[in-house]
């Protein structure tokens, strides 16, 4: 049976179709989910895609957290369903308290769009198993509110328990800040993505769905293992 991965569309989602395409390329079946529907259509996993849900008029992801679909997503995630939040989806996951911390405006006050180098810190989650710890990958990044923050206790807990999934390293190209700067938005401890303790919920700011084909997007396929990882997880479950 083909694994079914739901992709939620909120008002203002931009990358839902790109995410569906990445899922299809990995060999799974993408299932479109509408934010007003509580029914997840019997999917095996869920992706909250990037975009500007509700125009980010309050806080990025703050309104989407109360969409009807999120009640079901939160319930299922707590029961073990794999959930991936990309960019705005990561913001929604923090607002829903499925992941700790919060996302604030970039410290340089500019929207940033560039190919960003990341280091894989945790390759044991449902979404990162096809990577290796320490592996450096390039994933497109585009955000205005991408600065990950948390109190020192939470940051220390993330580090101690191995819950930092990705960290910004090296430089990017184009946009702000200058390319030689490793941290593109001022995220504390260079955190680009985190996971929950169970490893089924992962959030990150860069966009792996834009790095799945050599002739489209960034020209790299460094993001495809996100989607092959979850496929293998579901098939072997």
C-beta separation of 47 from 84 below 8 A:
yes
Q: What is the DSSP letter of 68?
A: H
Catalytic residue from among 35, 95, 121, 209: 209
> b/e per residue, 47-74, with b = 16+ CB within 10 A?
bbbbbbbbebeebbbbbbbebebbebbb
Taking the CB of residue 134, how many other CB atoms lie within 10 A of it?
9
Catalytic residue from among 35, 121, 138, 207: 207
What is d(CA 131, CA 150) in angstroms, rounded to the nearest whole number? 26
Q: Is there a catalytic annotation at residue 124?
A: no
Q: Could you give the residue ranges of the DSSP H alpha helices within 27-177?
A: 68-78, 88-95, 152-160
Q: Is there a catalytic annotation at residue 153?
A: no
What is d(CA 191, CA 35) in angstroms, rounded to the nearest whole number? 28
Taking the CB of residue 97, how many other CB atoms lie within 10 A of it?
9
Q: Is there a catalytic annotation at residue 108?
A: no
Catalytic residue from among 87, 121, 138, 210: 87
| Catalytic sites, residue numbers | 87, 207, 209
């Amino acid at each position: 049976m083909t694994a079914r991965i739901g992709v939620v569309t909120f008002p203002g989602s931009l990358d839902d179709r790109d995410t569906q395409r990445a899922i299809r390329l990995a060999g799974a079946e993408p299932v479109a989910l509408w934010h007003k529907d509580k029914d997840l259509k019997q999917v095996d996993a869920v992706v909250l895609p990037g975009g500007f849900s509700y125009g980010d008029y309050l806080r990025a992801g703050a309104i989407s957290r109360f969409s009807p679909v999120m009640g079901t997503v939160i319930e299922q995630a707590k029961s073990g369903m794999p959930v991936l939040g990309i960019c705005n989806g990561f913001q929604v996951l923090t607002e829903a308290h499925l992941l700790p911390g919060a996302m604030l405006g970039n410290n340089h006050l500019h929207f940033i769009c560039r190919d960003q180098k990341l280091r894989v810190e945790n390759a044991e989650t449902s979404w990162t198993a096809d990577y290796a710890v320490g592996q450096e990958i390039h994933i497109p990044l585009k955000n205005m509110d991408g600065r990950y923050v948390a109190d020192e206790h939470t940051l220390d807990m993330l580090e101690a328990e191995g819950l930092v999934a990705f960290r910004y390293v090296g430089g990017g190209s184009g946009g702000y800040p200058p390319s030689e700067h490793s941290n593109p938005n001022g995220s504390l401890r260079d955190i680009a993505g985190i996971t929950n303790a169970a490893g089924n919920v992962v959030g990150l700011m860069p966009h792996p769905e834009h790095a799945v084909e050599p002739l489209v997007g960034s020209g790299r396929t460094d993001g495809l293992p996100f989607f092959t990882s979850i496929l293998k997880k579901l098939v072997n479950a």
